[in-house]
Amino acid sequence: MADDGVRLRELLFDGVKRGKLGAAYRRDLKDIYRFYLTDEQRERLAGMRPFKRFFWIASWLARNLLGRLSPPRRLLLLVAAAVALIRPQFVWHDARINVDFSQMGFLLVLIVLMLELKDKLLARDEIEVARQVQLSLLPTSQPTIPGWEVWSATTPANDVGGDLIDYLEGAAGRTGIALGDVAGKGMGAALLCAKLQATLRALAPGASDLTALGASLNGVLERSGLDNRYATLFYAEIGSGSSELRYMNAGHNPALLVSGSKIETLAASSLPLGMLPGISYTQGVATLQPGDTLILYSDGITEATNASGEEYGMSRLTSEVREAATLPAEAAARRILDAAHRFVDGEKPHDDQSILVLRRTGA
Residue-level pLDDT at 308: 84
Task: Give start and end residues of each alpha helix (H) in the chain.
Answer: 2-13, 21-36, 39-46, 50-68, 71-85, 102-137, 186-203, 210-223, 299-302, 313-324, 329-344
Contact 81, 107 (CB under 8 A): no
Residue-level pLDDT at 302: 94
Residue-level pLDDT at 292: 95
DSSP 83: H
Number of H helices, E strands in the chain: 11, 12
* Residues in a beta bridge with 110: none
Residue-level pLDDT at 176: 94
Enumerate residue ranges in the chain where pLDDT < 70.
Answer: 1-21, 88-95, 97-99, 130, 134-136, 225-227, 363
Residue-level pLDDT at 190: 82
- 141-360: which CATH architecture? 4-Layer Sandwich (3.60)
Q: Kindly list the distances between the CA atom of residue 75 and the CA atoms of 82, 107, 151, in Å, as whole numbers in the listed order.
A: 10, 14, 53
Q: Rounded to an integer, what is the distance from CA 340 to the centroid of its chain?
A: 15
Residue-level pLDDT at 151: 94
* CB-based burial, 138-149: b 16+ in 10 Å, e otherwise: eeeeebebebbb
Diameter of the chain measured on Cα atoms = 104
Residue-level pLDDT at 14: 60
Residue-level pLDDT at 3: 63
Taking the C-alpha atoms of residue 24 and residue 305, their distance in angstroms, rounded to an integer, is 17
Share of the chain above pLDDT 70, in %: 88
Residue-level pLDDT at 340: 92
Nearest to 248 by CA among 140, 171, 154: 171
So where are the chain's domains?
141-360
Nearest to 152 by CA among 301, 29, 322: 301
